[in-house]
Amino acid sequence: MKKILSMVVVMLLGVASMQAQNPDKGLSFALETGIGSEWELGARAQYNFNKYVAWDVVNLKYALDYNEHGNWNEFTIQTGVRGFSPTFGPDMKAFAALDLGYGNMWKNGNTSCFALDFTLGLYLYKGLYAGYGFGTLINDGSHHDHLLRIGYNFTF
């Protein structure tokens, strides 16, 4: 756990040194929730290179996966890329994100695995967005989840 927290701190410090004054560039943060085949709660630090491309520096998510086999707790730490369309309408733009990283599932025991997350959505107003999310934890047998995600992206 110390290694993971150290990795998160190093990523955030590295990105903070690249901070710019342009609102389309620099570090921003997001909080989101998702509901579907599981309930999910997440937080993300995002570095915007320009108005079309961003790096998800660190993406942390907790999920409660409810299914016929009982409730599973899931935790993921990921990094990835995010792409945006040109703005259309008042403050609206489409986006797609792909994140890869480490996942952990536990119920009665622990299972560590590779985590992949894909999101396709639309910024509705300023930082408010909604979209479809697909998440999978890949271990002996793959585990897939489909979600409706709603979030808010903000800067300090």
Tokens 């997001």 identify what position? 30
Q: Residue with structure tokens 């709660």?
A: 41
The token duo for 66 is 């409810």
Query: Which domains are assigned to the chain?
Result: 2-154 (2.40.160.20)
Predicted TM-score of the model (pTM): 0.80
Cβ proximity of 39 and 61 under 8 Å: no
Longest Cα pair distance anywhere in the chain, in angstroms? 50
Tens digits of pLDDT across the chain (156 residues) = 565 656 555 565 554 444 434 456 789 999 999 999 899 999 999 999 999 999 999 999 999 988 766 678 889 999 999 999 998 888 799 999 999 999 988 876 778 889 999 999 999 988 899 999 999 888 766 678 899 999 999 887
